[in-house]
Amino acid sequence: MSIRKIWRVGVISAIATMLAVQPSSAVSLGADYVFSVFGLPAMKIDIDWASKGNRYKIDGKLRSAGIGRVFGNIKGDLSVDGATTDQGWQPQNFAMNYKGKDPWQGQAQWSGQTLTMLQTKPDNRRKGGSAWIPLDGPARNGFVDLFTGMVIESDTAGGVCGRTLDLFDGEMRMTLAMSAPKTVNLSIKGAPKKGVQCQARFTPVAGYSTKSSSRRHLAKQTIQIVWANPVGHYWVPASAVIPHKDATLRIKASRLYGKP
């Protein structure tokens, strides 16, 4: 499995498995994650997100680590900004850039809850041909980018898991159904001693090729996600186990932090 596949399936689809309804009040949060394949670290990603008043902003940095360095000096960055509303955070501008083998760029814009602009390089619609399910028409309404959704607001651990999420990874729209809350122990800097584990099921909706064996495999699997609340009733991903068809991808936070 190439480092490019780890990035797209791991950072995008995998992080997408760790998402939910956005918080409505001011908050500053951050997390440092390590992505491992075959039990060995391959990538690190640091994410900071904050809201103040009626605006929010997210910044993230990716870099190769461990066996990932075999594939060269791989880097990535992401940014999102948008408005805080009574229904939660609503993205307005999204950008993600991956540099290294098989580079990828994506930009998107929203007006309200409708996606109005989407550009990716390369444009995988051409590669997908007749098997490509376009992200057009009604499919462009009613979802948020996956990084906007990385914070859950819930007063109880059980309330974290009982939801179906509607998400966008820079190219693909998907749903994620979470269930089966279970209390687990945590040992992460900045995190409480207890977290909640959810089982999740992934379903692609639009912006993908039906020929993708990775997506077909992932749709048949159960993904395990653990959440932690480093401050107040705000929950962020602490770890996840994603059964990719080529190798199991594991994600774990090395540090979490939060300020109300």
List pLDDT tens digits, range 50-90. 988 899 999 999 988 877 776 667 789 999 999 988 888 89
Average pLDDT over every residue of 16-20: 45
Q: What SS3 class is residue 9?
A: helix
Q: How far apart are CA 154 and CA 29, in angstroms?
A: 15
For the cut 60, the answer to whether the pLDDT of residue 156 exceeds it is yes
Amino acid symbol at 120: T
How much is the pLDDT for 253? Answer: 95
Average pLDDT over every residue of 167-172: 93
Q: How many domains does the chain have?
A: 1
Q: DSSP code of 21?
A: P
Contact yes or no for 191/256 (Cβ under 8 A): yes
pTM: 0.84
pLDDT band at 26 (very low <50, low <70, confident <90, very high): confident
The percentage of the chain sitting over the pLDDT mark of 70, rounded to a whole number, equals 89
The percentage of the chain sitting over the pLDDT mark of 90, rounded to a whole number, equals 54
Q: How far apart are CA 175 and CA 184, in angstroms?
A: 25
How much is the pLDDT for 14? Answer: 47
Q: Is there a domain that residue 130 lies in?
A: yes
Structure tokens at 125: 């619609």
Length of the chain: 260
How much is the pLDDT for 158? Answer: 84
Amino acid symbol at 149: G
How much is the pLDDT for 21? Answer: 45
How much is the pLDDT for 71? Answer: 62
Contact yes or no for 5/246 (Cβ under 8 A): yes
Average pLDDT over every residue of 225-250: 89
Helix (H) / strand (E) containing 196 = strand 194-206
Question: Residue 194: left (phi > 0), alpha (psi -120 to 50), or beta?
Answer: beta
**Cα 40 → chain centroid:** 21
Q: Is there a domain that residue 222 lies in?
A: yes
Amino acid symbol at 152: I
175, exposed or middle or buried, with CB in 10 Å at 0-12, 13-18, 19+? middle
Q: DSSP code of 66?
A: G
Helix (H) / strand (E) containing 161 = helix 158-161
For the cut 90, the answer to whether the pLDDT of residue 7 exceeds it is no
Look at 98-102, 110-114, 204-208, 219-223 and tell me which has the smallest mean pLDDT.
98-102
Range of the domain at 101: 3-255
- HSE-up of 233 (CA within 13 Å, CB side)? 13
For the cut 80, the answer to whether the pLDDT of residue 2 exceeds it is no
Q: How far apart are CA 16 and CA 37, in angstroms?
A: 18
- Of 13 and 37, which is predicted with more confidence? 37
- Of 17 and 116, which is predicted with more confidence? 116
Q: Is there a domain that residue 260 lies in?
A: no
How much is the pLDDT for 194? Answer: 94
Q: What SS3 class is residue 156?
A: coil
**172-184: pLDDT as tens digits:** 999 889 999 999 9
Structure tokens at 242: 């994603």
Q: Is there a domain that residue 136 lies in?
A: yes
Q: Is there a domain that residue 124 lies in?
A: yes
Q: Is there a domain that residue 178 lies in?
A: yes
Calculate ∠ Cα 95-197-224, nearest 5°: 65
Q: Is there a domain that residue 28 lies in?
A: yes
Helix (H) / strand (E) containing 111 = strand 104-111
